[in-house]
Amino acid sequence: MKAIAHTQTTTLDTPNALVEVDVETPTPGPRDIVVDVRGVSVNPVDTKVRALMEPDGDHRILGWDAAGTVTAVGSAVENYKVGDEVFYAGDITRAGSHAEFQAVDERIVGRKPQSLSFKDAAALPLTAITAWEILFDGFGLQEGGGAGEVILVVGGAGGVGSIMIQLAKKLTGLTVIATASRPDTVAWVEKMGADHVINHRNPLDEEVAKLGLTPKYVAALTQTEQHWDALVKLIKPRGHIAMIDDPQEIDLPSIKPKSLTLTWEFMYTRSMFGTDDLDVQRKLLNRVSSLVDEGTLITTANHDGGVLSLEAMLEAHRLQETGAAIGKTVLDGFLKA
């Protein structure tokens, strides 16, 4: 089968930054399903792995968002059968989704929203899991909870921010402040449902103060190191900050006077370590799927990258690395011979 991979850590201007490889079609392990990949999307993790992580062996297949049709099931699979339409974010320790077929543990796979195309469904899994785990695992919120409190979403127009705004507005009572800095990103986060939009090119504590609001929760989705001091100033005492990026230098003791909680969210933790509650990601994705089909949530797909190919994926990586991407870039799966 065909797949898109990297063979070394590279920048995009390096020859063969990505390559097309021909590999064996996967066979399922006991809890695996094999999926005919019909739609994929691109995330910051794709560009980070390409640029920073040497592959084990001669190549590594990238891609951690997909939707498709089940073509084979393992001996212990309980929830899926051949022909089922599914969507998932996969496992960073295994071969990725930018391939014709992919083997994935059924416990991290959800049923594809029937109201969406494969590629529009593929926009959602990784970001929905991340946002859900921040809100309901990290912050400890309950559905319907949070009334009277405020959340600040830093980087509201990105993939995680786009779905987090929706989840917070539709499933909790939180007031949502989101950051955006351009007319198109402001329009996007307003479309996602943000109550207030502030400009992250200005000091965030000053921007939030203009609203007369004090967030209890902060989802720091980008440039946490740059905004750290302002976040500590603007948040309520005994508040909670969750971050997903990789700040190298933050003043951690600065959160002590306010007794703040800091959570680092990494949606691959459950699959990497085979946690006892791995199946919660399947249930979470099924819940998201139902919310989409009910019209409560909408896809965050915003750029059609065409059909999966080496050239199309290189262009998708370029767009992702500009930092200007809004929502998600999605692609149809490989054209079959």
Q: What is the pLDDT of residues 93-119, one digit of tens each?
A: 999 999 999 999 999 999 999 999 999
Paired with 331 in beta bridges are: 40
Q: Which domains does the chain have, with CATH numbers?
A: 2-124+277-332 (3.90.180.10), 127-264 (3.40.50.720)
Distance CA 188, CA 162 (A): 8
Paired with 93 in beta bridges are: none
What's phi and psi for 102, nearest 5 deg?
A: -145, 140
Q: Which two tokens stand for residue 44?
A: 């910051």
Distance CA 93, CA 38 (A): 22
Place of tokens 């705004």: 165
pLDDT over threshold 80, residue 14: yes
What's phi and psi for 271, nearest 5 deg?
A: -75, -35
Q: What is the pLDDT of residues 233-284, one digit of tens each?
A: 999 999 999 999 999 999 999 999 999 999 999 999 999 999 999 999 999 9
Evaluate whether 242 touches 138 at the Cβ level (below 8 Å): yes
Q: Which two tokens stand for residue 259?
A: 């007794």
Distance CA 322, CA 144 (A): 37
Q: Which two tokens stand for residue 209?
A: 């103060």
Mean pLDDT within 222-238: 97
On the CB side of 155, how many CA atoms lie within 13 Å of its CA?
23
Q: At what angle do helices 44-52 and 310-321 cross, to 10 degrees?
A: 100
Q: What is the pLDDT of residues 167-177, one digit of tens each?
A: 999 999 999 99
DSSP string covering 90-136: --TTS--SSBSEEEEEGGGEEEPPTTS-HHHHTTSHHHHHHHHIIII
pLDDT over threshold 80, residue 337: no
Among 109, 114, 121, 98, residue whose Cα is nearest residue 70: 109
Q: How much is the pLDDT for 136? A: 98
